[in-house]
Amino acid sequence: MTTTLKVILGAALIGAGVAVPAAGEDGSAAKDYPKAKVSFDDYKTLVAEVESHRRSRLIDLDTFLAMSREEGVIVLDCRSDFRYERIHVKGAKHLAFTEFTEKNLAAVIPAHTTKILIYCNNNFAGEPVNFASKVAPPRPRSGQKVASQFAAEAKPLMMALNIPTFIALYGYGYHDVYELDELVNVTDPRITFEGTVVEQTTKAASAAPAPPLAKLPSPVDDGR
């Protein structure tokens, strides 16, 4: 049916007193239902406000560790319960990102003025299982055809948890947030971890038999 015919038919129905449902952008009848508490516009506005604020709060490991020793500072791990229990930065408090609510955050963070340090899986190298990086491989966007040679050179998307965590904390009113910006090897002696994986590794190391002492050479009889 052409657009002109639709308009004529709609006008005729209205003139005859027949109710015509409002059409959506795709031409389908608009549905009347309660909208979810979701606003992409709110999120875009928040991201724009956070971007410049976050830029000056990206810190290296030495600064991160020095700040963590300050009075009242909280190191916050927002990964899943499973990942946190297995391994996390020693002393870090935990609240999974999926559990962010005003009430839950207030139970972990004493005040909106509290200094908060955050990190995520993408901050650590050398432990691909327990600190698995969140990276999306390059692929054509929806409806887009990309030549294979260009696709091979495309940059993967970093899907780190740090960014949505920073944005969400800011949105809930916690503005004194600092983010670990350095990629740290898990064997780096500057940092200490704890959790079930660390405990198991420590127990296994202590239970292992000590290596045999090197056999000392026999003393030489010099005739004296």
Neighbours of 19 (CB within 10 A): 6
- The alpha carbon torsion through 133, 136, 178, 196 (nearest 10 deg) reads -20
Per the structure block, which two tokens stand in for 32? 């009347």
The reported pTM is 0.74
Q: Indicate the burial class of 102 (C-beta count within 10 angstroms; 0-12, 13-18, 19 or more).
A: exposed
Domains delineated in the chain = 71-139+147-195 (3.40.250.10)
Partnered with residue 180 across adjacent β-strands are 59
- Which residue is associated with the tokens 């079930």? 196
Q: What is the mean pLDDT of each run of 10 residues along the chain (224 residues)?
A: 46 47 57 94 97 97 98 98 97 98 98 98 94 84 57 77 97 98 97 95 75 55 50
**What is the number of other CB atoms lying within 10 angstroms of the CB of residue 122?**
19
What pLDDT was estimated at residue 8? 40
pLDDT at 203: 82
Q: Which residue has the tokens 């000056």?
A: 56
How far is CA 54 from each of CA 59, 97, 164, 175, rounded to the nearest angstrom? Answer: 10, 18, 12, 9
> For position 152, what pLDDT does the model report?
53
- Res 204: pLDDT: 82
Q: Which residues of 141-175 are buried (b: 16+ CB within 10 A; e: fewer)?
A: eeeeeeeeeeeeeeeeeeebbbbbbbbbbbbbebe
The CA-based angle 64-90-114, given to 5 degrees, is 50
